[in-house]
Amino acid sequence: MNSLLNHDQVIYSLDTSALIAAFHERYPIENFDSLWHRIEELIRNGRLKMSQIVFEEAMRDTEIKQWCDQNQLKQDFQVTIDEAVQEHVNEVLSQFPRLVDNRTGKSGADPWVIALALTFENCVVVTEENPTHSQNRPKIPDVCAYFNLQCIKIVDLIKKENWIF
């Protein structure tokens, strides 16, 4: 990724785990209202995105869906699947077939988080997962490392955006 670009040009590909952890555990909207206004601003400015598959997974959470609907975020938040994203999903799964494992209930949306990031220049993946350093049990950070994608947590996004509350 080109580090000469300023932070305003960074695009974030958001994983469901990061959204759910932030919304319900770390930064509840009733306690961190200004944070969620900043997140909404990122979404409206086209800088925080979810692939359609990931977005649909996140919308299974009733409260997150309500927040998204009330703020009319879907159009700016959800990225429709196109051929480029699909090709990147195939590339991710060819290198990391165990990223998705229906037998263990692993998320089928994980490859889409990474694929979306691969379609944008200067895109950073946001997840709350930790790396396993295992080809047999890869997580999003492991795959990001392989593809040289920066992978951060929500708190790192806050720092990267220089948000002060």
CATH number for the domain formed by residue range(s) 7-160: 3.40.50.1010
Is this model's pTM higher than 0.75 or not?
yes
Contact 7, 163 (CB under 8 A): no
% pLDDT > 70, the chain = 91
What residues have CB less than 8 Å from 112, skipping those under 6 apart?
51, 52, 53, 54, 81, 85, 89
pLDDT of residue 2: 36
Half-sphere exposure (Cβ direction) of 56: Cα atoms closer than 13 Å: 11
Which letter does DSSP use for residue 125 in this model? E
Average pLDDT over residues 42-48: 96
Name the phi and psi angles at 16, rounded to 5: -55, -40
